[in-house]
Chain A
Amino acid sequence: MTRRGRSAGVKRIALNGAGLLVALFAAFPVYWMIATSLKPSSEIFSSTPRPVPSEPTLAHYREILTGNLIPGVTFADFFLNSALVAVSTVLLSGLVALLAATAVARFRFKLRTSFLIMLLVVQMIPLEALVIPLFLMIQRLGLYNTLPSLILTYLGFSLPFAVWMLRGFVAAVPKELEEAAAIDGASRAQIFRKVLFPLVAPGLVATSIFSFITAWNELIFALTFINDQDRYTLPVAMTFFFGRDDTAWGPVMAASTLFTLPVIIFFLLVQRRMVSGLVAGAVKG
């Protein structure tokens, strides 16, 4: 019994040790990004790296937020461009997805299954293969070098997953509530606004966060469709200004931190649904 107890103890220590190693591997780059962003340049470029910033400073943040990366344009402008594109994508995609999800979750109609299969297939289209034809479309529409070109593109990319995810939330709202409202004389529009919408709202928020992250993180299309530097989104600005050989790692890490933190916060709020949305779970309706 004691031998068994001891070997169980050893096992526990080994398991916990492995757990710590995994945690270190996963979280270290994020920690290192934040730590570097807070170090003075002398410390960043010293030959012996310090695990913790010895004299934390916000100098790099001040530099990127107030300094002009190109005449007249600051980091804050790129931040605004990115936010404008991402928020517009979220609003449009949320509205359209809610309508489609209601149709799929609340009605039985002929092409319902075909539509669901199409949603699945469409999500697997390699977006990287669409850069060239979408570039053509944007040129033809006269939207080249405008932020709406990106909003339009990201709307298409985020919509299929948004519908797929949202239909689970709509289906989860008990139908009886709507029927009760209908008996009380509420119109369809009223039922949608006063009964269904408030109950689906949390799901809509979760779905919106995914659309936001899609739009916020996207690089290739923004790189291709935008020409003027003052219209760059954050990812483009970061590769353009910091991806060069002589890299100033302090400001780069400060910018990376500012870019990453909103995504991490949003992501942690909704990650559970991501797994179920992709693997199984939310597939009923």
Chain B
Amino acid sequence: MTTLTEVPETSAARETPARRRRRVDRLPYLLLLPCLVIIAVLLLWPLGQVVAMSFFRLNNVRQLRGDREWPWVGFENYAEIIGDPFFLTVLRNTVLFAVANVVLTMILGTLVGLLLNRLGRKMAAFVASCVMLAWATPALTGTIVWKWIFDDTSGLVTWLFNALPDGLSTSLFGRSDWTGYGWFNSPLLFFSILTLVVVWHSFPFIAVSVLAGLKSVPSELHEAARVDGAGPWKVFWRITFPLLRPVFGILIVLSTIWDFKVFTQQFVLAGGTQDRPTFMLSIYSYAEAFSPPPKYGLGAAIAVILTLILLVVTGFYVRMVLKQEEDA
């Protein structure tokens, strides 16, 4: 009996490690397979496809369905875009908007983060919850509400300007009756309001991240500096900023990526894709491709330009995260 039971046991013991090792080798790849397939098909393939499409003249849905031929045009779409003076306007809008929004979001977010760190516990909890509300609100509905606040008849801002003393309002702005004033008509005003909306949506993330960073800095450092007579400005630039430099780096890169491709807020605020003077790259690409007459090839070329710009920024981001992971 004993020998009978012993034999299968030893053979099993001899076989299992090898079999298990083989299984272990294959298992992680099997687990990854669905994820890899989905990312390849739904993200990487389209990314290649958009580059391919930018080299064809595609002005008809039937071409997309494969019912008609795709005429190859080489770099013609790119030449057409770059040769168009309007492209310069779009590029200027995009870059200026991104820079302004990143700077304002970073300043406001950092200040709020520092403030939250200094407030008493109850007050900090209250302010943080309010800040979360702005963050949690979907881009779509947040923008709709701001549009209502700037409504030209019953909006709060119109009412506020109407409530100014007439003399003051006239001497400052040259008008006292603001009812019917088109807040979104001039590109500069439009971009100012868009900036307000985007900063409102994005400063909470910066504030919360900066706060999280500050909590990880030993408070003795700040106290020591303050005892030595350093003012808040000096404390920030000499101690807080150098310590949180990696966090700030990642936040700036993430904000830049997000602000370069703002779409929903602009689409809703402008009420669609008709307001060409305020176009930025992402909405320009969309409008060329999908507003009649459709120009999918041209839209794809603009999308490629946008992607290339973001690729450079992403390079910085990946390097920073990897460096942080090594340090951790």
Which residues does A use to contact B, with CB under 8 Å?
12, 15-16, 18-20, 22-27, 29-30, 32-33, 36, 44-49, 96-97, 99-100, 102-104, 106-107, 109, 112, 115, 117-118, 120-122, 124-126, 128-137, 139-140, 152-153, 155-157, 159-160, 163, 188, 213, 216-217, 219-220, 224, 235, 238-239, 242-245, 247, 249, 252-253, 256, 259-260, 263-264, 267-268, 271, 274-276, 278-280, 283-284
Contact = CB atoms under 8 A, between A and B. Distances in A.
Nearest to B289: A132
Interface stretch (B27-35, B83-91, B165-173, B218-226): B27-35
Contacts of B61: 139
Interface string B246-286: 01001100100100110110011001100000000010011
Given A30-B134, A124-B314, A156 B42 contact: yes
Nearest to A219: B264
B189 interface: no
Contacts of B132: 267-268, 271
A100 B32 contact: yes
Interface string B117-128: 011100110110
Given A96-B38, A283-B321, A130 B140 contact: no
A152 B46 CA distance: 13
B148 interface: yes
Contacts, number: 291
A53 B204 CA distance: 28
A126 B256 CA distance: 12
B138 A260 contact: yes
B318 A117 contact: yes
Contact of B154 (A46, A125, A129, A278): A46
A244 B317 contact: no
Interface in B199-240: 200, 204-205, 208-209, 212
Main secondary structure of the interface of B (DSSP, over half): helix
Contacts of A213: 138
Contacts of B116: 19
Given A243-B268, A279-B251, A126 B154 contact: no
Contact of B46 (A18, A45, A104, A134): A134
Contacts of B209: 275, 278-279
Contacts of A245: 271
Interface of B: 24-25, 27-29, 31-32, 34-36, 38-39, 41-47, 49-50, 53, 61, 64-66, 112, 115-116, 118-120, 123-124, 126-127, 129-142, 144-146, 148-149, 151, 153-154, 156, 159, 162, 200, 204-205, 208-209, 212, 247, 250-251, 254, 257, 260-261, 263-264, 267-268, 271-272, 282, 285-286, 289-290, 296, 299-300, 303-304, 306-307, 310, 314, 317-318, 321-322, 324-325, 328
B38 A260 contact: no
9 contacts: A22-B130, A29-B149, A121-B318, A129-B50, A130-B50, A130-B303, A131-B289, A247-B151, A268-B129
A213 B65 CA distance: 31
Given A15-B118, A271-B135, A220 B264 contact: yes
A50 B141 CA distance: 21
